[in-house]
Amino acid sequence: MKKQILIATRNKGKIKEIRELLDKKFEIFSLDDFEIKHEVEETGTTFKENAIKKAKEYGEIANIITISDDSGLAVDILGGEPGVYSARYGGEGLTDEERADLLLSKVKNFEQKELKARFCCVIAVWVPNKKTKTFCGTIEGQISTIAKGNNGFGYDPIFYYPPKGKNLAEITLQEKQEISHRGKAVYKAIEYIKEINE
């Protein structure tokens, strides 16, 4: 029988990426699959705090292994903005494109070489009767002043990754999984889940 895992998000982009990374031996569910209406308030000041909070609250509702992700973009010249507020940057109701445009408006007077940035991801794994564990991943790059590509989601079209010479939204999902902040964190989480299931 396959081990059941809840991916504690409604973000279809995140669900797709994490589902692709998880081993086929797991049976994967989203919050919508479980019809969980509860919304966790992301009151933490760090990705780790928010990831743990979501994993615990949703895990206790579903009572199966629960993976929660908190991630975002940090731009050095903006003092780390948008950071933990990446998904809510500029307020509720904005589209990914509108958030990216807002960020670009704040850095328009700088050259691209000055726009060092990174994506950060913390994956929290909640397991019944065990302490919640966290796993981190980052990817370093720059803000691209021109949005490019149709793959990915969020800020991917404006995140330039020098080793590939492309913006993240220009590379395939498979390529992205190998280098991304989320891919790195999920791989570590998978190893932990496999260990506790042996």
Catalytic residues: 70
Dihedral through CA 56, CA 54, CA 184, CA 169, nearest 10? Answer: 160
Q: How far is CA 137 from the centre of its chain?
A: 10
E-state strands within the chain: 3-7, 26-30, 65-75, 81-82, 116-126, 133-143, 159-161, 166-167
Which among 119, 178, 197, 122 has a CA at the least distance from the CA of 153?
119
Which among 27, 34, 26 has a CA at the least distance from the CA of 10?
34
Q: Are 72 and 44 in contact (CB under 8 A)?
A: no
* Structure tokens belonging to residue 28: 């994967």
